Amino acid sequence: MSQASGSADTGEPPLRVFVVAGEASGDHLGGALMASLKAATGGRVTFAGVGGETMQAEGLEPLFPFSDITVMGVDAIIRRLPQLLSRINQTADAVVAMRPDAFVIIDAPDFTHRVARKVRKRDPTIPIVDYVSPTVWIWRPGRARAMAAYVDRLMAVLPFEPEVHQRLGGPPTTYVGHPLLETLAPILPDRDRPLDPAGPPTLLILPGSRSSEIEALLPVFGETLAAIAARVPDVRAVLPAVSHLAGRIEAEVATWPVKPEIVHGRAAKLQTFGEARAALAASGTVTLELAVAGVPMAVAYKLDAVARALRVVNRVVRFVNYTTMVLPNIVLGERAIPDFLEEDVTPERLSAAIVPLLSDTPERHRQVDAFRRLDALMALPGGAKPSEMAAQTVIDTARAGRPLLANPRI
């Protein structure tokens, strides 16, 4: 358990917060939340929980190594299932023993929600806050109502999620803003800068951060780049490679007829965001990053075998609700960004969507205008920062407490 360094005594006991993150992105959210909780309480806050380097830098002494639960892939999960189940039980035991003012779970629902359900059964008085909603608006909407039994306050990072959970019978939900609004926007150039016609247009190639995405999309992205270069001979292509797949990406790209420049590290990636005229991207959070940066894009997505089978079933029995896989489109409620799924992911279709974005065209202006509407939808009142909004929500939930439930239904 760690105690943040305090300032003047306010007369109130320190806030006790147990925080559990289950993956790297959650660790970053947790670290920012912890920093804002310290600032909001004048340092009068005690932390315990599970997290990685970012949370540890804010003073967390983790219950066990973060790597014990940051497992990706079905095979890896099956191999380490006994350890994962043990860590779930160990974490729930620690929460109940501490009896914190608030128990905050961050993303990674396969781990964090299992812990939360156990805690709710054993001590229904502990307020539970969930930071980042599962995608109930796309997949398995029944999870929203199930969460209401063990989550007292959900902190949403997308502005439409409070309405979704209200409609689906989910827990009370507060939109606290997406972390990109805080971490990305301040270090990027002005989106409204005029298009510089001098020099070759820069195209970002973003094939994803998972091995399955690289395998599915990298070959067709190489063919697409060749088709674009045939129409825009001076195009400069840049591919930011994620570190754990860099070798594989470099080997694949070496066979391409038109070779992009490969850059490494987040700082280099963000620099290219400031230089790019357009991007060819895999579906995912990167599309929201590009929209915040004001980079027009075309988006591609290929499903794995299981998801492909579910897509066929969904045509008969609808249990997946989506018309687009692109986060900015979902927030906007319109298909402002062209997206291509499965059989539509072809060099011809992708290059036809990208080429107009490399110059001053109506297609480019339509996306940039949509990004401005996205800004307005995602903005927080009074220019608040997402981590500050999240911290205040945790404090309010902790202060409100939670009445004892005689027979909690989990």
Question: What pLDDT score was predicted for residue 188?
Answer: 66
Q: What are the structure tokens assigned to 46, written together? A: 């005690």
Number of DSSP helices (H) and strands (E) in the chain, helices first: 17, 13
| Residue-level pLDDT, tens digit, the chain, 410 residues | 666 554 445 567 899 999 999 888 889 999 999 999 999 999 999 999 999 999 999 999 999 887 777 655 444 556 666 778 889 999 999 999 999 999 999 988 889 999 999 999 999 999 999 999 998 988 789 999 999 999 999 999 999 999 999 999 999 999 999 998 888 877 666 666 666 667 799 999 999 887 888 888 999 999 999 999 999 999 999 999 887 788 899 999 999 999 999 999 888 888 898 889 999 999 988 999 999 989 999 999 986 544 444 444 344 334 344 567 799 999 999 999 999 998 899 999 999 999 999 999 999 999 999 999 999 999 998 889 999 999 999 999 999 986 554 344 45
Per CATH, which fold does 189-378 belong to? Answer: Rossmann fold (3.40.50)
Examine domains 2-177+381-400 and 189-378 and report if their fold is the same: yes
- How far is residue 308's CA from residue 287's CA, in Å, rounded to a whole number? 22
Q: 128-131 and 153-156 as β-strands: parallel, antiparallel, unpaired?
A: parallel
Question: What pLDDT score was predicted for residue 407?
Answer: 40
Other residues' Cβ atoms within 10 Å of the Cβ of residue 360: 11
Question: What pLDDT score was predicted for residue 77?
Answer: 57
- How far is residue 230's CA from residue 213's CA, in Å, rounded to a whole number? 25
> Where are the chain's structural domains?
2-177+381-400, 189-378
Q: Which CATH architecture has domain 2-177+381-400?
A: 3-Layer(aba) Sandwich (3.40)
Question: What pLDDT score was predicted for residue 303?
Answer: 66
Question: What pLDDT score was predicted for residue 191?
Answer: 64
Strand ranges inside 123-243, DSSP E: 128-131, 153-156, 173-175, 202-206, 236-241
Identify the burial level of 248 via C-beta atoms within 10 angstroms of its C-beta, where 0-12 means exposed, 13-18 middle and 19 or more buried. Answer: middle
Task: Give me the half-sphere count of Cα atoms (radius 13 Å) on the Cβ side of residue 164.
Answer: 24
Closest of 95, 107, 36 to residue 70, by C-alpha: 107
Residues β-bridged to residue 130: 105, 154
